[in-house]
Chain A
Amino acid sequence: MPPFAPAAGGGNEQPTALLKVEHLTMRFGGLVAVDDVSFEAPNAGITAIIGPNGAGKTTVFNCLTGFYKPSVGRLTLSHPRRGPLYLERMEGFRIPQVAGVARTFQNVRLFGGMSVLENLIVAQHNELMHASFFSLAGLLGLGRYRRAEAKAVERARYWLDRVGLTARADWDAANLPYGEQRRLEIARAMCSQPVLLCLDEPAAGLNPRESSDLNRLLIGIRDEQRIGILLIEHDMSVVMGISDKIVVLDHGRQIAEGEPRQVRADPAVIRAYLGEDENEDLPPEVARDLARDGGSA
C-alpha cells in the first residue's frame, strides 16, 4: 500500500459513483453556459470532460469547486468517510476543505513568490491548523505542531518525488519552467489529500514527452490513491489514452457520455468536432441552390 493512501477506497475493485451531477445548469443573465448536464464520475477512475472551445467545460468545474453557484442542479459527492455531500449547498472554500475536492487551473495558479515546498505546505493548511490549535501551539513552540509540520513536509516530499521536483524544493515557484509549474500544481492539489481531483487542461503547453509523463502520473494517482479524477483536456492522446469515461459537451449541452471507444464513434461527437455538413440530407438540387445563394444570404 502506498504511503498517504486514503484509508477508505482501497481494495474496492468495483468502481462506484463518487460524483453524481444531475441537471446541472448555469446561467449568466441570458446566457446559458451549461444546460442540463448530468453525468457520474466513478471512484478510482478518470473521467474526461471534452468539447470544443466555449462548450462550458470550465464552467462545470467552477460549479463543482464552488467558484460558481449553479443555477439549477444537484452535485452529490459520495465521500468515503463523510457520506453524501451536496456541493451546490456548500460555501466555496468548504468544498476543498470538507468534501475533499481539489483542483488545478487552466492558467496555472501557484503562489509564485513562495518556494515550491511552501506551496505544498500551504496546501495542508487545514490539517496543520487543527494540529496547531489554529497556530497557537506553534506560537508557543509546542512539539505537537513540530511533529505535524514534519509529517506535512514528508507528504510534500513524497509528492515532490512523484512529480520529479525534489531538487527544486527550495526554488521560488514562479522561477520554475512552465511544465514543472503544471506538475507542481498537481502535487499541490494532491497534498490537500482530495477524494476528487479536478484537472483543468493539465497537458496544455506540454511537449509530447511531458504529456506522456503526465499520463503515467495520473494513472498512478488513480491506481494507488484510488481517488476520482475529473479531467478537462483538448489533447486527445491524453484523453483517449487514460480516460475510463468521457463526457462530451457542446454549447453547454451534453452530447455524449461513455467509454472512449463509444464516444469516438459517436456521430454527434464527430459532428461537434469536425463541423456539421448541414446540407448532406437535402436533395442534391436544393443543396446546389443553397450553396449558390448561401454566399449572398
Chain B
Amino acid sequence: MSGARLFGPAWLTEGVKEALLQALVALILAVPLIGLKTVQEPGGLGLQTRWPAVAIAVACVFVGRLLLVIARHIWPPRPKAAHSPVVAARIRRFVRLLGPATIAFALLLPFLPFADRYVLDVSILVLTYVMLGWGLNIVVGLAGLLDLGYVAFYAVGAYSYALFAANFGLSFWACLPIAGALAATFGILLGFPVLRLRGDYLAIVTLGFGEMIRVILINWSSLTNGPRGISGIPRPDFFGVPFNPSPAPDASAFHTLFGIAYSPIQRVIFLYYLILVLALLTNLFTLRIRKLPVGRAWEALREDEIACRSLGINPTNTKLTAFAIGAMFAGFAGSFFATRQGFISPESFTFLESAIILAIVVLGGMGSQVGIVIAAIVLIGGPELVRELEEYRMLAFGGLMVLIMVWRPRGLLAFREPTIRLADFDRTARARSEPAATVP
C-alpha cells in the first residue's frame, strides 16, 4: 500500500507496473535487435553495441505505455458495439453510398488532372490486388477454405498467357479464357487432395502447393526458362489494333485509328480500364453467385459442413467449385499481370504475394467486397504514398496493420448482408405479381 501513496492513486500504480512490464519486454527484444550490430572488420565480422539506442527504445515504450494508461483514465474507452444493429445499419448505408462512388471515381480517374503515369501505374497495381482479393474472397470469405497458396493460380495464369502468346502467337483475348480454364483446372487439382482438410491443415497444404508451383516454374527450364523468366511477352493491343508510335504505312495503330497524337500513356490508360473491367466482372460475379444455390452452399459450408451433408449438399462438388472459380479469377489476373509487365519470372510469385492477398481479404473484413477495395488501397497504395519515408516505409506499413487490427479486429467492414430478405422479397414479388409467388 506504500506504493499507492508513493505514486498517487491506485490506477496510476497499476499503470506504472504495466509500463514497467512492457519496458522489460521491450528490453528483451531490443538487446538483440537494436543493441547488437554486425560490422565489417579487417578480420571478418565484428559486433558493435549500441546501448544508448536500446535505452531510448525502452524509455519510449515505458513513457508511451504510461501516457496510454493516463489517456485511458482521462478518456475511458467506450464499450464496444461492433455488431449492434445500429452500427450495422450505419455501415450498410455507408457501403451503399461508397460502392457506386468508388466505381464512378475509378471510371473517371485517368481524366483527372493529377492522374499522371505514376498514379495510373499505382492504380493498376492496386486494382490487380483488388481483383485478386475478390477472387480469393470466394475461397476464403465465402466458402471458408483458408488458402495460403493462392499465388499459385496467379502464376499459372501468367505463365499460360506468356507461353501461349509467345509460342502460338495467340492474342490476349484468346489467351484469357485459356489462362482462366488452366488456373481453374489447377484449382480442382489442388482441391481433390485437400477435400477432407479444414482450417490449419488446409492452410498448410495450400501453402505447400503454392511453393510447389513456384519450384516447378524454377526447375522446368525447358518450358518456363527457369529462374531467368520469360521476357518479350506481347503487350496488349486495343482489340487487335496495336499501340505503336510509328506504324507501317498500310497498318493502323491506336492513335491513327482515333486520329489523335501518339502518347505512351494511351497504353497505360487502356491497361487501367482493362484491369478495372476484369475486377468489376469478378465483383459482379461474386455478388450474383452469392444469391444463387452454389454461393449459398459455399456460405453454408463455411458455417457448418456437417449440417450441409445432412441437407444433401455434396461437399466435394461445393468445395471444388469454390477452389476452381477462385482460381479462375486468379488466372485472369495473372494473364493481365503478364501482359502488363511484359516479363515474368518465378520471383513474382512468392509466398509473400499470397500473404498480402490474404491480408487484404482479412483486413477488409471476410466476405466484404468494399472492405477488400479499401484494404487493397491501404496495403498496396499505402506504401507507395509514404515512399518519402524511405527505410521507415515498412515500419509505417506494419504500424498501420497493427492499428487496423486493434481498431477493427474483424476487418474494416465486417458485416454480412443476407442474400435474401423476406421483407424485400415480398415487395419485389408484389411489384412483379408473379403467379409462383401467390401460392398460399
Q: Shortest beta-carbon distance, B196 to chain A, in Å?
A: 12
Q: How far is the CA of A128 from the CA of B300 in the complex (A)?
A: 15
| B37 contacts A by Cβ under 8 Å | no
Neighbouring B residues of A93 by C-beta, 8 Å = 308-309, 312-315
| A188 contacts B by Cβ under 8 Å | yes
Considering the complex, which residues of chain A in the window 165-209 have a beta carbon less than 8 Å from any beta carbon of chain B? 166, 169-170, 188-189, 192
Instruction: From known contacts A122-B300, A125-B296, infer whether A66 and B309 are also in contact, taking CB-CB under 8 Å.
Output: yes
Give the dominant DSSP class at B's interface: helix
| B422 contacts A by Cβ under 8 Å | yes
Q: For A96, give the chain B residue with the smallest CB separation.
A: B312
| B423 contacts A by Cβ under 8 Å | yes
- Cβ-defined partner of B311 (8 Å) among A122, A147, A150, A154: A122
Q: Shortest beta-carbon distance, B97 to chain A, in Å?
A: 22
Neighbouring B residues of A111 by C-beta, 8 Å = 299-300, 303-304, 307
| B421 contacts A by Cβ under 8 Å | yes
Instruction: From known contacts A94-B312, A151-B439, infer whether A121 and B296 are also in contact, taking CB-CB under 8 Å.
Output: yes
| A5 contacts B by Cβ under 8 Å | no
| B1 contacts A by Cβ under 8 Å | no
Check if A109 sits within 8 Å of B293, measured CB to CB.
no
Q: How far is the CA of A286 from the CA of B232 in the complex (A)?
A: 100
Q: Shortest beta-carbon distance, A87 to chain B, in Å?
A: 13
Considering the complex, which residues of chain B in the window 389-440 have a beta carbon less than 8 Å from any beta carbon of chain A? 416, 418-423, 425, 429, 434, 436-437, 439-440
Check if B299 sits within 8 Å of A125, measured CB to CB.
no
Instruction: From known contacts A109-B304, A113-B299, infer whether A122 and B291 are also in contact, taking CB-CB under 8 Å.
Output: no
| A123 contacts B by Cβ under 8 Å | yes
Q: How far is the CA of A223 from the CA of B309 in the complex (A)?
A: 27
Interface size counted on chain A using CB atoms at 8 A: 51
- Cβ-defined partner of B313 (8 Å) among A122, A139, A153, A166: A122
Considering the complex, which residues of chain A in the window 100-127 have a beta carbon less than 8 Å from any beta carbon of chain B? 102-103, 105, 109-115, 117-118, 121-123, 125-126
Neighbouring B residues of A112 by C-beta, 8 Å = 303-304
| A132 contacts B by Cβ under 8 Å | yes
Check if A129 sits within 8 Å of B293, measured CB to CB.
yes
Q: How far is the CA of A125 from the CA of B296 in the complex (A)?
A: 8
| A254 contacts B by Cβ under 8 Å | no
| B288 contacts A by Cβ under 8 Å | yes
| B34 contacts A by Cβ under 8 Å | no
| B297 contacts A by Cβ under 8 Å | yes
Check if A117 sits within 8 Å of B420, measured CB to CB.
yes
Neighbouring A residues of B292 by C-beta, 8 Å = 132, 135, 138-139, 145
Check if B311 sits within 8 Å of A3, measured CB to CB.
no
Check if A114 sits within 8 Å of B311, measured CB to CB.
no
| A86 contacts B by Cβ under 8 Å | no
Check if B299 sits within 8 Å of A115, measured CB to CB.
no
- Chain B residues with a Cβ under 8 A of chain A: 285, 288-289, 291-297, 299-300, 302-304, 306-315, 416, 418-423, 425, 429, 434, 436-437, 439-440
Q: Can you list 15 pairs linking A and B with CB atoms under 8 Å apart?
A: A93-B309, A93-B314, A96-B312, A97-B314, A98-B312, A105-B307, A118-B296, A122-B308, A122-B313, A135-B292, A138-B291, A150-B429, A157-B422, A170-B418, A189-B310
